[in-house]
Structure 1
Amino acid sequence: MVSVTAVETQELKATDRCDACGAQAYVRVTMESGELLFCGHHARANESALREVAVDWDDQTDRIK
């Protein structure tokens, strides 16, 4: 299992969109090769595979109202 380290990141904005469906992104997944943005739904749906390659997992879903 890969350890995920928290780093200080910026708050995702309304203009940040999910790479899977285009909805507002609330999760930023940083990997050695780059980063992907996901809505809460697609982050949860792909979490097990993404966590294996993630260097950082920035979950801001607590901001969803």
Structure 2
Amino acid sequence: MTTTALATSPLKATDRCDSCGAQAYIRVVLNEGELLFCGHHGRRHEAKLRPIAVEWHDETDRLQPQPTPVTD
């Protein structure tokens, strides 16, 4: 079983989606193990997996461009 400390660690560029192989931004921890998903597949499977997930770690906010501070 995956420990909570490991499950909440940030996802790395080497973590890949179990469905398509793209970079993973969502980690779903289940009693039986964990699944990694890109944002697209995470959203696709969320309705089925969220009710049985022990933890849902979502870093899809990293996909949004960060505003550039305005300097004068």
- Whether the TM-score (by the shorter chain) exceeds 0.5 is yes
Considering only CA atoms, is the larger Rg found in Structure 1 or Structure 2? 2
Hey, which of these two has a bigger chunk of strand by percent? 1
Gaps of 5+ in 1: 1-6
Instruction: Give, in whole Å, the separation in 2 of the partners of 1:38 and 1:61.
Output: 10
Could you list the structure 1 runs, at least 4 aligned residues long, displaced by more than 3 angstroms after superposition: none
Q: For the aligned residues, what is the CA RMSD?
A: 1.2
1:14-58 deviation digits (Å, cap 9, x = unpaired)? 000000000000000000000000000000011000112100000
TM-score under structure 2 length normalisation: 0.77
- Identify the structure with bigger relative contact order (alpha carbons < 8 Å, sequence gap 6+): 1
Query: Counterpart of 1:38?
Result: 37
Percentage of identical aligned residues: 63
